[in-house]
Amino acid sequence: MKELLTDALLREFLLGKVDEEERERIEGLFLTDSQARERVLAAEQDLIEDYLEDSLTAADRDLFLARYGQTPAQQRQLRINKSIKNWALRETASTHVVPAKISALSHLRERLRLKSPFIIPIAITALIAIIVVAVWFSSRREQQNRHLAIEQELAQLNTPSSLREVPPQMAPLELSPVAIRSVEQETEFKKTADTRVVELRLPWIQKERYATYQAEVRRVGDDGSFTIPNLQAEGDGEPVIRVRLPAHMLHRGHYQIQLNGIASDGSMSLPEKYQFAVSG
């Protein structure tokens, strides 16, 4: 039975993609068999690592965040994992880059003594390349960290308990689906220094209702997007889904929101799209 616990299957299980019978089998082994337990937890570590490296598909990332990024404790766990990984990468980079720099410098000195007209520019170019790579590496890591922090902040702002509170300096923004507001002007949000949080109110015009909803927020022209899973519809008539965004993540430009309903079996509805512009 244990032999059937492949990495691929465990990943499907951890993302909630297996059927009830398989889930029962794996959970039973997880609780009663210490080896199976360690395999599941090791597979979970791999999954977390892939999330932190941004290697998951968009769909898997959403499923992941719905399980591992909801509560403050889970978010802290992710930050701890990220810290351990960053430490290892930092240490490795420093032990590899420093000797390379020293050796390049001593090499340069040696060549300077020989006064070769060709070696000096090559050595300088190599040094510049090393510095450029190091700067790029560090800025990329910084970007990843920023993205992760915003994603966690979004998850935190949009938990049911957070949504029941009304934080100070929050600006509401009513949006209509693009399909029905094509002739109207785009809704504009004027960002001020006082605004801390923007609450988007997204009416759900499709007939079908869903267990949860997820929103994907994207700034037009940017590569990345932010996903907010596990949103709930509110209201008896036409339901509205509220999404809160920290104002600091919004920059001048156009934003698009894609909203999907998620059925209890995990299937996704057709999307509703909304857009707005940020100015100020």
Give the interface with another protein as residue ranges (CB under 8 A): 13-14, 16, 24, 27-28, 30-32, 37-39, 41-42, 45-46, 53, 55, 66-68, 70-77, 79-81, 83-85, 87-89, 91-92, 149, 152-153, 156-157, 159-162, 164-165, 211-212, 230, 232-233, 246, 264
Record the tokens describing residue 96, joined without a space: 């590899």
- In angstroms, the CA 124 to CA 108 distance is 8
Please, what is the minimum distance in Å from the beta carbon of residue 219 to another protein?
20
Q: Which is nearer to another protein, 66 or 175 (CB)?
A: 66
What are the distances in angstroms from CA 104 to CA 10, 112, 133? 46, 12, 15
Least Å distance, CB 24 to another protein, is 8
Q: Which is nearer to another protein, 88 or 124 (CB)?
A: 88
Distance CA 48, CA 5 (A): 18
Element at 260 (helix H, strand E): strand 253-262
The minimum distance between CB 10 and another protein, in angstroms, equals 11
Specify the residue, 72 or 224, whose C-beta has the smaller distance to another protein.
Answer: 72
- Dist. CA 139–CA 143, nearest whole Å: 6
The vertex-61 CA angle with 35 and 32, nearest 5°, equals: 20
Residue type, 52: L
Measured CA to CA, the distance from residue 204 to residue 210 in angstroms comes to: 10
| Minimum distance from residue 31 beta carbon to another protein (Å) | 4
Phi, psi of 161 (to 5 degrees): -70, -40
Q: Smallest distance, Å, CB 163 to another protein?
A: 9
Work out how close the CB of 80 gets to another protein at its nearest, in angstroms, rounded to a whole number.
Answer: 5
Sign of CA dihedral 76, 81, 82, 83: positive
Q: Considering the complex, state which of residue 73 and residue 183 has its C-beta at the smaller distance from another protein.
A: 73
**Least separation, in Å, of the C-beta of 98 and another protein?**
15
Q: How far is the CB of 178 from another protein (least distance, A)?
A: 26
Using the structure block, give the residue that is written with the tokens 């509205």: 240
- 20-32 as b/e: b if 16+ CB within 10 A: eeeeeebeebbee
Cβ closer to another protein: 37 or 251?
37
C-beta closer to another protein: residue 21 or 184: 21
In whole angstroms, give the CA distance from residue 229 to residue 48: 17
Q: CB count, 10 Å around CB of 123?
A: 19
